[in-house]
Amino acid sequence: MSSRMIGVDVGGTFTDVFVLDEASGTATVAKVPTTRPDQSGGFLDGIGREVDDLSEIAVVVHGTTAGTNALLERKGAKTGVICTQGLRDVLEMRRRDRPRTWGLRGDFEPVVERQNRLEVPERTLADGTVRTPVDLDAVRAAAKQLRDQGCEAVAVLFANSYANTANEDAAAAVLREVWHNEHVSASSEILPEIREFERFSTTALNAYLQPEVSGYLGRLENALKAGGFDGEFMIVQSNGGVMAVDTACRLPVRTALSGPAAGVIAAGYIAGSAGFDNIITGDMGGTSFDVSLIAEGRSMLSPQTSIDFGMVVRNPMIEITTIGAGGGSIAWVDKGGLLNIGPESAGSNPGPVAYGLGNTRPTVTDANVVLGRIDPDNPIGGKLDRLDVEAARRAIDEHVGAPLGLSTVEAAEAILKVANSRMAGAIRLVSIERGFDPKRFAFMPFGGGGALHAGAMLAEVGIARAIVPRYPGVTSAMGCVIADMRQDFVQTINSLVDTLDEAALGAFMQDHADQGMALLDAARTSFDARELSFELDMAYIGQTHTVSVPLAVAVEGGRVAAPSKAAIEAAFDAAYGETFGRLLEGGVRRILNLRSAVTGKRPKFDLAALAPVPGGATTPIGQRQVHFGDRWHDTAIYDRLALPEGTVVRGPAILTQPDTTVLIEPDLQGRVDRFGNTIIEPQSGERPLEEEAT
């Protein structure tokens, strides 16, 4: 009986595989190098390490960076646009912004070149009136021209199509007859929401990704099937939910932040199981530190994200704030004598000076190496035999120590201090911007480097404790197995509450529910529960910022009971009051958009599957000198995965595992909880974990 669930996260360097055997309640992980350019090789290799017979697999869930990379590296398909007369340049004009506040340098090229953006006579007004019916002969002629110019995908971008889809529908229907493949995207199908630049950009990027992403996913699916796999193949979306592979091929733009989103989902689940509902995650990679916030067990979703300057994707996405302070970020002293970290980065290739691959400027990782915090003889990832500590010392001396008059060790401590301060700043700002006090949160580091800096985050931000997941290096792969199936829908309503057509709103809600449920029905996976949620974007007339107004909606036998105007007004007043403290007397309430989400709750696995086996060793496996503060400390090294539940390790100590180093600073302690997580906190009490979780 097929009972295995597999999560696969393909990153820039490694492909991580997480295998859950539901029957036996056990989990295993594998890490293999990512293959390029075709990532499917590493994907299948990673699964093959853990599973001999693909027919034993029930579900494969994939967090992919194929879409992200195609966008960042501009490697999508040659794409054509057919648009409203007079609006050819919306994609290129953006919202009249610029790449950087200061300096006025830099230009911008949209993914669709201007000669591949063709206008046709057609116009719909803001109230939905068709002023000029679409000229379908012009659409046919434009399609022919775009095809002759070598376009592989086409997008239809018409003004105000959110208010009336008729012209776009007609144009899309013609295109689907005449276009030479299935890659046709229409803006009102992808995102029926007001704001033409955001809708056009999202749609054009969808078209741009379609050939690439659907080709990649198709190859993977075929290879899995050829190996005997007969289960469900699903893809993680940027919103943290999963979708069926055919949906992903139709809406590839929804995978733009697939990989990082899965990591945050796993982090939330791990923290929740361990008793922490409020956490701030910190994923430290080679070039960046990515921060995300989970409050009361819920990840923050942002309505849109800029993948790069001018490349806006408007879809709900897990909100992730990035600063340029990763392990590869370069430390340098400016002309005013101030020590800076980043934004320049040595990334993972050539990487830190200690890698010996050609970089000579010191990085954050080099500081960790020089201070003994990273073991030079057993580099993480297994790519290198050993790290060049001397080279790292020289680089730090030359670029930081000498200009500031500091010894090597002082300079390395200074680099970490400034880097930690910047990371702490990101954590503070992410929480404060959303009105939360960061001190109420636990910090969860994941990714390769985060756990080296956890103690510093406690000290800098005033956070009480950090929770290091048992497998911080494969969090995203684990998130694939945990994520629920979720589809988001949006429809612009643009009506005052007073003049709302309740039946029309109800019809949109029903349509969203039906579409979402049909997608769940089509999935060959089981759900513990199904949830429907509806929100309205609302504001007082005259305001441009809307508030999200959750609607309590009764659903019986699949029928959605549309809310009354009075119920909508009450819900708005409650949400508005909560956001701004007071209501606007005499203000006229307006509805801008309907947002619906349909979620299929997938069965959750018990994280106890990852628990340490009883009777493991609690004795150190070694010792080395590590520098903390102003001196070297004898520091015990432990094999982290061997430590049994309840072990308390007092700092200074280092816990090692194949892909992560956990640092416990002198005044802190680390304790192993029943899921194998390490809780880092001040050396105060010795209370058992069960008490703390309550």
Partner 1 sequence: MSEIDPITLSVLAGRMEQIADEMDATLFRAAFNPIIAEAHDASHGLYHAVSGDTLVQGKSGLPIFVGVMSFAVKAVIEKAAKDGDLEDGDIYIFNDAHIGGTHLSDMRLVRPYFRDGKLFCYLASVGHWHDVGGAVPGNYNPAATDVFQEAFNLPPVKLAKGGKINQDIIDILMRNTRLPQSAMGDLNGQLGALDLGIKRMDELLDEYGAETISAALEALGHRAEALMRSELEELPDGRWEAEDFLDNDGIVDEPLKIRIALEIKGDRMVLDFTGSSPQCAGPVNIALPTTVATAYVAIKHVFPALPANAGVMRPIDVIVPEGSLLAAKFPAPTGGYTETILRMIDVVFSAFAQAAPGRVVANAYGTINALSIAGKRKNGQPWVMFSFYGGGHGGSAETDGLNHGNAPISTATIPPMEILEAAYPVMFRTWALRPDSAGAGTHRGGLGAIYEIEVLEENGAEAFLFGERGRFAPKGIAGGGDAAMNVFSYEQDDGWHRPPLASKMRGIKLRPGQAVRLETPGGGGYGPASERTAGAVARDVARGLVSAGEADQTYGTAWREAKA
Show the CA angle centred on residue 576, arms to residues 572 and 578, nearest 5°. Answer: 120
Work out whether 33 is an interface residue with partner 1 (CB under 8 A).
no
State which residue, 131 or 440, has the beta carbon closest to partner 1: 131
Q: Give the 3-state secondary structure of residue 678.
A: strand
Among 37, 52, 335, 694, binds partner 1 (CB under 8 A): 335
> Which residue, 154 or 461, has its beta carbon nearer to partner 1?
461
Question: Which of 429, 517 has the CB closer to partner 1?
Answer: 429
Decide if residue 36 touches partner 1 (CB under 8 A). Answer: no
Find the Cα–Cα–Cα–Cα dihedral 660, 443, 265, 552, rounded to 10°: 180
* 693 sits near partner 1 (criterion: CB under 8 A): no
Residue 537: both structure tokens together? 């974007």
Binding to partner 1 by residue 314, rule CB under 8 A? no
Q: Are 347 and 363 in contact (CB under 8 A)?
A: no
- Alpha-carbon gap, residue 241 to 317, rounded angstroms: 10
Residue of 37, 148, 544, 694 interacting with partner 1 (CB under 8 A): 544
Kindly state whether residue 602 participates in binding partner 1, applying the rule CB under 8 A.
Answer: no
At residue 595, the 3 state secondary structure works out as strand
Q: Measured between alpha carbons, how far is 666 from 632 in angstroms, rounded to an integer?
A: 11
691 near partner 1 (CB under 8 A): no
Q: In this structure, how many other beta carbons lie within 10 angstroms of the beta carbon of residue 665?
A: 23
Give the C-alpha separation, 415 to 119, whole Å. 54
Q: For partner 1, which is the closer residue by CB, 51 or 418?
A: 418
44/17 Cα distance (integer angstroms): 10
Q: How far apart are CA 210 and CA 152, in angstroms?
A: 9
- CB closer to partner 1 out of 358 and 629: 629
Residues numbered 97 to 136 that lie near partner 1 (CB under 8 A) are: 97-108, 113-115, 123, 125-126, 131
Q: Is residue 421 a contact residue for partner 1 (CB under 8 A)?
A: yes
- Residue 155's beta-bridge partner residues? 81, 185
C-alpha torsion 677→680→684→685, nearest 10: -10
Residue 421 sits at the vertex; the CA angle it makes with 320 and 305, to the nearest 5 degrees, is 15
Query: Residues of 46-70 as b/e, b for ≥16 C-beta within 10 angstroms?
Result: bbeebbeebebbbbbbbbbbbbbbb
| 344 near partner 1, judged by CB under 8 A | no
Q: Which residue among 25, 580, 606, 621 contacts partner 1 (CB under 8 A)?
A: 580
Nearest to partner 1 of 33, 587 (CB atom): 587
Three-state DSSP class for residue 392: helix
Q: Which is nearer to partner 1, 102 or 691 (CB)?
A: 102
Three-class SS of residue 679?
strand
Window 611 to 670, contacts with partner 1 (CB under 8 A): none
Give which of 259, 416, 426 is closest to 341, Cα–Cα. Answer: 416
Query: What is the Cα–Cα distance from 420 to 466, expressed in whole angstroms?
Result: 15
Are 352 and 366 a contacting pair, CB within 8 Å?
A: yes
580 with 479: CB under 8 angstroms? no
Binding status of residue 432 toward partner 1 by CB under 8 A: yes
Residue number, 430 or 519, with CB nearest to partner 1: 430
CB of 653 to partner 1, least distance (A): 25
**Residues binding partner 1: number (CB under 8 A):** 67
Grouping H, G, I as helix, E, B as strand and the rest as coil, residue 384 is coil
Q: Least distance (Å) from partner 1 to the CB of residue 628? A: 15
- Please report whether residue 588 would count as binding partner 1 according to CB under 8 A: no
Q: Are 399 and 332 in contact (CB under 8 A)?
A: yes
Minimum CB distance to partner 1, residue 121 (Å): 12
Hey, CA dihedral for 348, 349, 352, 354, is it positive or negative?
A: positive
User: What does the CA dihedral 70, 75, 77, 82 come to, rounded to 10 degrees?
Assistant: 80
Query: Which is nearer to partner 1, 85 or 533 (by Cβ)?
Result: 85
Shortest Å distance, C-beta 493 to partner 1:
11
**Piece of 59-67, 347-355, 429-437, 644-652 that binds partner 1 (CB under 8 A):** 429-437
Q: Which window, 292-300, 390-398, 419-427, 628-636, contacts partner 1 (CB under 8 A)? A: 419-427
Dihedral of the alpha carbons of 226, 229, 230, 232, in degrees to the nearest 10: -120
Q: Is 686 helix (H, G, I), strand (E, B) or coil?
A: coil
User: In this chain, which stretch among 214-222, 335-343, 651-659, 679-687 interacts with partner 1, using CB under 8 A?
Assistant: 335-343
Q: How far is the CB of 164 from partner 1 (least distance, A)?
A: 12
What is the rounded CA–CA span in Å between residue 364 and residue 456? 14
The residue within the footprint of partner 1, chosen from 122, 152, 168, 198 (CB under 8 A), is 198
Alpha helices in 310-374 (DSSP H): 364-370
Whole-Å CA distances, 635 to 54, 655, 681: 45, 10, 18
Residues 503-542 that bind partner 1 (CB under 8 A): 542
Min separation Cβ 102 and partner 1, Å: 4
Handedness of CA 520, 522, 528, 529 (dihedral sign): positive
Closer by beta carbon to partner 1, 38 or else 433: 433
Contact residue for partner 1 among 1, 545, 578, 615 (CB under 8 A): 545
Considering beta carbons, is residue 95 or 524 the nearer one to partner 1? Answer: 95
Cβ pair 572, 587 in contact under 8 A: no
Q: Which of 48, 227, 587, 666 binds partner 1 (CB under 8 A)?
A: 587
Min CB(400)–partner 1 separation in Å: 10
User: Using CB under 8 A, which residues numbered 386 to 415 contact partner 1?
Assistant: 404, 406, 413-414
CB of 287 to partner 1, least distance (A): 19
Give me the 232-271 binding string for partner 1, x by CB under 8 A, dash otherwise: ----------------------------------------
Q: What is the nearest approach in angstroms of partner 1 to the Cβ of residue 414? A: 4
Q: Which residues bind partner 1 (CB under 8 A)?
A: 86-90, 92-108, 113-115, 123, 125-126, 131, 159-160, 162, 194-198, 334-340, 404, 406, 413-414, 417-418, 421-422, 425, 428-429, 432-433, 435, 494, 542-545, 580, 584-585, 587
